[in-house]
Amino acid sequence: MNPRPHVAVVGATGAVGLEMIATLERRNFPVGQLTLLASARSAGKTLKFRGEEVPVRELTADSFNGVDIALFSAGSGVSKQFAPLAVRAGAVVIDNSSAFRMEDDVPLVVPEINGSDIKWHKGIIANPNCTTAITLMALYPLHAAFFCKRIFAASYQAVSGTGAKAIAELQRQINQVVRGEPVTKEVYPHQIAFNLFPHVDVFLPDGYTKEEMKLQNEGRKIMHHPTFRASITCVRVPVYRAHSVAVCAEFEKPVSVEAALEILKRAPGLDVIDNPAKCEYPTPLMVTNKDNCAVGRIRKDCAFDNGLSFWVSGDQLLKGAALNAVQIAEELLKL
């Protein structure tokens, strides 16, 4: 790998794409050349990187000549069409969509958990679902110590997970409610301002949504834990960009709060904020624009013999998307 790689960002003008550009700059990633790619309607715009205006180009089949690393965040349809073209042109693709996550020959990576899986990539490396990544940042260290059999969970997911239009919809609806105006809906089936609803992604025949099944399916692959089971209800909440998850986890080995705290305090990429007596616990606002996820409300689960309940929050656009992708790119440079 070129020590100063030519990096392309696909979907550069979207919420995650903009965060990828900002994260590359903030973490001093050694970008030798930056190519910004988006749809035809965004071509011609410029975005700032290291004090310079970089033009946005239309994504085409020929966009990847000379590119070393391509960060994709433009949806699974775009990834399926263009990621193989990027690989054929010699790039390593780090894909933020669901297109390749469950393919057997594609590593699905959270660097703090299974970074070594990057070594067997065949041109494409998948970024996990945002809720999965944030949950596993707290769950995996506990699994490594106590072996997690199953979890029951509820997620509280920010509108950023749906994209820039959803962020704008929440802001617009808040203003409409405050002004006493009729509330208009474009992105979501229900008003999201001052509301929430248990519906993230499309419903499956068994009543779960695709989003809800991702935590189990992707969790098994990331943790190398084929028997892991997860029952989750995903809830969309009127929060801008940080997800939270309430987790009840059952373990095979006996657990204690004291042992769990010691393990979590040593876990990379995770802050422990756990002092309920002083109302200290993670909140979405607390982790917004922060690289680390945060865990708190750690307690023995009263429904399991070997169980813990906890609450974890993380920035959906960072650890849930852009940061994790850039961290994968950083690991690539070490190979």
Catalytic residues: 130, 243
- C-alpha 321/C-alpha 161 separation (Å) is 9
- C-alpha 162/C-alpha 184 separation (Å) is 17
| Helices (H) then strands (E): counts for the chain | 9, 13
- C-alpha 73/C-alpha 21 separation (Å) is 11
149 CB-near residues (< 8 Å, 6+ apart):
227, 228, 229, 250, 251, 252
* DSSP string over 169-193: HHHHHHHHHHHTPPP--SSSSS--T
Count of residues making up the chain: 335
158 CB-near residues (< 8 Å, 6+ apart):
237, 239, 240, 241, 242, 243, 284, 316
Count other C-beta atoms under 10 Å from residue 331's C-beta.
17
Three-state SS for 120? helix
27 CB-near residues (< 8 Å, 6+ apart):
326, 330
**Residue 178 near residue 189 (C-beta atoms within 8 A):** no
Three-state SS for 231? strand
**Residue 252 near residue 147 (C-beta atoms within 8 A):** yes
